[in-house]
Structure 1
């Protein structure tokens, strides 16, 4: 048979190369020697048996050396014992051989385009290398029955890996990197086609044969499309961790610092597969700091479990291809830095590697713009081997990087960073935070764990989603490879009465609710993250609560457990938690305003502001809302003068919707002026003035002002002077969102149809049967009658609820992470656009029934600035961090406090506090000491 010399039939026939000999340079060191360890009779018999085998096979020989090292038996998982020699004292006096071992990253970066693989393993590789005659006596080992020395290279010598790697590089030097990879005795042969691979494999076997090296055929794998190599699984699609290695982490016991270091060492081996490794592992690394007290709690257990779960659901990273374009996405938060290297593929960009790290104490005090620049400098250093000497793109969701290159005069670290970046040829592009998976991973910790198959588009802790719309072909492909959706195709073929239908190869679900589209697109898991973000984070979605977000989605999309996913996504939105109000019942009985008989019968009008003056000179917003449909009109104005108010009502309300019967407003000077009285008289409108200092009389418009403020605050520029440009989008988001009271969007109640949202035209929806005029009028009239009943019913329930006394809340527990309400004021910025809460902080203990002692999180405990203060329970709100795995987990009722969703002046209040302590970032804002 060909290359039969490479496959020995026994240990006595393993090869022995003459290309390299192992030497042991000890200089003038005195011989080190040791008496044999005391062992049991059973262990002594095992040692003698192994010594006899090695003597018979010519691996060792009797010795008279002055050197000696003791023998130890190491128990294997299988129950057998491994014969080892403790060479620590010999290694201490050995001069080091610094011959390099290949870097793991370099080994895997040569596999672009490879489809066929063979894995070769040398038979007792070290024993195929001779020890130099002049140095054999130094390898002597002592047993209870004699002294022996090695003729062949033993395990445990300090320079053994360097010697063996030098041998393999000499034997396969001209083939290495081009057709095979070599790491000690593990050889990987690769090729793009079977024929090419076969030719390359033969060249490798010939080289091994010439060097008199033999293989262990039981451990070799030939001509496969998927192979395990160096703790990874390699295929034509990319590289992922070896599941057998990852499984070792599942039940890894962590009960002290030593075991924690071991766990993190093993987990860090695969850190390039996890986008936010540093952020997730932060609570674990905190226990390894100097003088840190060992305090293993829920936070640490959660972080450990998240790492294990993320490793079990890692994406298949693409092989780096030097011929393809390179894109780097970076992001920074107050918890760490992160970046991802990506290259284009058939189904969109695919990640090649993820990197992340924690911030130092000094970096933790950087401004966010400084952190963004730092992230870029750090990422390019890490990815230098990929991008140096070639053009590439950098994408970030922060404009600080562009500012860095446009600034003429720079000082300090900025000037140093610019100099460091000058050697790279790159273009900086902007990417929305919702489309930046690294930003979600580090700053908002993204959410859907995915099983990656082939070249499917997947997410970060998790691959990168395309920012553009999906084609129908891509949607069909992603549906077919989705483990949750694939069974629905099978059921469809066997069940003709299925609620699912195929249209142009894409799976849809029949809508059983008489609202929205008749057919709902079945969304695969790889698209859900982007769909959720578009319908909650996008400017036309307004960062609304659970009900509105779910309604916006359920009118067009469906996937298993969608309601739970939406609930988790919204509750863990950092922006919503920090910027939205926490609504609570107020004292005093409620007198609801009866719902009007038809649209635009009764409208509420109010001024919102003053806000930061815009480039157009606007400072206030005039807002009007219809009491039946909840339709909103708004316009930016420079002042609250009557002339602007009257023009708004004339142009935006009367000319568009007709003259209302009644207008409700407060007693502001613009509403009580003589000019306004004259305008109202000419229009023939009844003007109702609300009680002074009692905005609840016009509660609907006051509640709408809050919703509008929250919608605008999500997308302002740093100077807060572009809100008038964002106003139309915010109004569109409100008017197309379902109201919890009416259960319809204002758009539906006014126009009698479902609105078409941004991105909907990318999907080819099935045609719906057209209605006759009579059918349309009957349906709209019935819908509005039902809405009046719903408003009346809702108002009765809300009155009953509001008139009750304030309810007590479940107590916080030590270790809970909370936000603290603060009345933030900043010169030059509008108070309405600033966060309502700061933090997060950690509960230390309960001082009294209504007061808690809170302190900075461990990540922000800087010497002399460690804040600890008392806070009243009404100032506290539980903080929930978005962790990728939790999007799929059900959230209990106690994990949310206040879900703002009502447009009747009320809100859905869920009492209680979450008990799951999350891995949390540093405070959103700096809170001055109390």
Structure 2
């Protein structure tokens, strides 16, 4: 029961409704009298008296109360109760204490922050002419007060009459309200109809009176300006005028009647951090921002044990936005699994031929959701000026998005599919939400939503968003083509009016499928899928493989197929009778696209040689040549067929095949039945069919002028030649594994870098496996390599620069053991675009040494970079480096304090090249600087795992020439 202590009331009162609910068997003494209220002339009817027993803490009190029909609360305790129990009211501590029989009890009380509403009803019948505004009298159950009037939600839904939120002065239970009739017809309102509610002044009263209705009207006029039809414009304005409060974005608001955001955490100690270091300019900006937030009561001062560091992020317009790093708090927060809307499904729903679109954007939407009082201390953030905590939901919390989505889903659920904009606005206004008028769109025939342009014709990608796809270079490999098709298929969605067509095919290599629609005689491609089959799946019968292809395509295309009419094209007739779906047989020769995808799945690794030029392994031993290998591993020999020669031979075969009459007009692949029959051959037979024909290779080598020159060199000096001519074939002696791994210019790098360096020049059976075994048996690698495991979670990538040497990472590594050349540190620099590395051995890490090494070894060779990023060490963060950056013309930025991950590329480099140098240096560990340049060379010429190119290729646009490549025998000038 809500009870109010009123020092202005002489007696105690209780409403008849509260009496019946709390004291059902209480005897009532009926009395017919009236009492005068504080205004001196308004009277209140007394229905009777009753003796109340009220529990105040652990004390039972009694008082005689007057019964009235209606009160603003359930019960009013007047001066009779206050005097009887010697009540003391402490407004500072918000406590009341009462005394009875030498015993005093203290209770906590709450200041009323919520609205106390009274209905406002029409006093007489009203007739409102068309396009007119009239002032009508209303009755309110208050004698005299200043109140805020809010229109009735239900009346606004069923009537076009416009009423505005307004401030009313009530005198003797009566006030006046303005009503506007925007229609062309006369409107009647009956006597006693509920027009709205009035709110007596509370703590939130002043905020409601501060609404700028003129600005809201201006925002609405701007929104409806694009509407050309005047009748439509008037109708839309009549709807929006009922919700002026939504379009006033001058001050932030906090929603009401919703469940506040709760932060549920695990049982861990409260995480806390120190404030981040910032410049005086940023400190002033942060102070200004916090003062604004305090003024709007979005934050408050805090004494919480929690403390998350706050920092500033620059906006596009040059101003600052304050964000809070809640990583530690999020790590102990229990995840809220409320579903978030699927963007792709939302866009598909919109693309159904609708003609008009409305878009509403919330103003600082998170800041409109309150946080549970008991959880607000968990949001505490620290700045150089103090500790604060949030009263509202804030960006950066783990459960902010699902919590906001739950609120919107709860309050908008009564509005079926949002058919009526008026319902949406009414619900938002009822819960005190605020819109951002500058981002809203009203009554548009075309809007931009979630990177798409939506209109009556359907959904198409936003022109700005597809520029990146339009500017993509043409795919040059099958893997790139598959990735390109997979990327652009995200922008495709089916037309609900037409069935989707799934065309599938399978082979022993893989399965493939395409999803299409026939619309107005044109084929629209929706989705492509290609996938390799496993070793067990390759043993399936042809009909089982076709069924597997259909099943795999269904799994990947499920969102497109659910709830739609499906037609399946397959080249296996028996499948047509196995399922109730519409399955149509298509001949293999007509199933070109799916057939191609099934035979060209995304490969796991690219082959060095074409299938016609493999190595015949007639014996289990590798072929041997003269001489021995130091590491006791049999040398490998390979018949010389270069990539360029392979392509030339392939081109000649293609030209010859185009002149053959049998294949002149053939544009499709062989029939699927013939292909599958060929796949049934024994695996040994398949190897034999793809093996190298020695006699054919002899003929092809005989046609190559370069081979003739090499044979002549072997005949002249067979001892010093790196080739061998044996049985009419030219062979090259290869000792790759030691040269491409253990040599200083190879740097003892791992399997992938070693394999990729060899892969592009040589091939032998089980090449990668033999390289893995060799590196696993390398003693220095086993001594110095460190096992690294990636931490769980998502990365936070740094946006890449647009070109070479625009963003440079710089860091020191050391100190190492002093060398005879007096070097003890290494200054490392790496380009974020090409991954090119420069490392300079220096005697110390002073500011002078840093500036000299940077200028001489980097800037004078590669030019002035745009940005150099380093940590905040004194050798980088000093007046000399600052003056140098201003003089030469580059920006020197620093990584976040206590967070070296923000300069992760150079940090990773330091952890990489130190073990490589340790593998090469002598036992005294003092000649490491001799191997610094070779190791850096090995790094720069090796394939980088991120770019899939070597830094040398990206910088110079060509493959590096390595010592193992041999001398060029001739030059050609054009």
Larger radius of gyration: 2
Higher relative contact order (CA 8 A, sep 6+): 1
Which range, TM-score by smaller chain?
0.3 to 0.5
After TM superposition, the score normalised by the length of structure 2 is 0.37
